[in-house]
Amino acid sequence: MAPLLPAAEWFASLPTAYLSAFGLITDPAGAVLMVDPNYREHWTLPGGVVEDGEAPHLGCEREVAEEVGLSLLAGPLLCVHWSAPHGDRPKPFLALVFDCGTVPEDTPVSVQESELDGYTFAPPDQAVGLMHPGLAPRLETALRARAAGRTAYIG
């Protein structure tokens, strides 16, 4: 039997991944809140990278508050999207989408100008079309998962 590694060595040997968390937010008509990042070409859901040691649901709440000024609770986990290492990114990326609920039609949204050029509430099909094709399944899957009351995985 091989000797056990000391805890620090064992944990250092485990695989790691990057982690992000996003909020699915809709209005009463079902339109999806989308944001337009100034650092990429396509729109996305409000959210971003989870900080070191931060719980993913709290990272979602923090990012939503920072990006669109809404203090919402991250509800059920709707979708887990795994992306393989690619290009300059040497590790996999896990993106979690939480259900942040439905906001009233007149809810004020304040955009984080340092990162975002704007926001819109878009009908689901239009919202999916605003996203990068590689990320659009994240929204499609989250919407289906919300309707079904379950969590879905994209690999």
List pLDDT tens digits, range 66-115: 999 999 999 999 999 999 999 999 999 999 999 999 999 999 999 999 99
- CATH number for the domain that contains residue 80: 3.90.79.10
Check residue 5 and give its pLDDT.
Answer: 87
pLDDT in tens, 42-60: 999 999 999 999 999 999 9
Position 2 in a domain: no
Position 10 in a domain: no
Percent of residues, the chain, with pLDDT higher than 90? 88
Position 37 in a domain: yes
Check residue 4 and give its pLDDT.
Answer: 86
Among 71, 72, 74, which Cα is nearest to 56's? 74
**How long, in residues, is the chain?**
155
Counting the structural domains of the chain, the total is 1
Position 8 in a domain: no
Position 66 in a domain: yes
Position 3 in a domain: no
Range of the domain at 60: 19-100+110-154
Number of C-alpha atoms within 13 angstroms, CB side, residue 79?
29
Position 118 in a domain: yes
Q: What DSSP string runs through the chain?
A: -PPPPPHHHHHHHS---EEEEEEEEE-TT-PEEEEEETTSSSBB-SEEEPPTT--HHHHHHHHHHHHH-------SEEEEEEE--BTTB-S-EEEEEEEEEE--TT------TTTEEEEEEE-HHHHHHHB-TTTHHHHHHHHHHHHHTS-EEE-
Check residue 142 and give its pLDDT.
Answer: 98
Evaluate whether 58 touches 79 at the Cβ level (below 8 Å): no
Burial of 138 (0-12, 13-18, 19+ CB in 10 A): buried
Position 146 in a domain: yes
pLDDT exceeds cutoff 90 at 144? yes
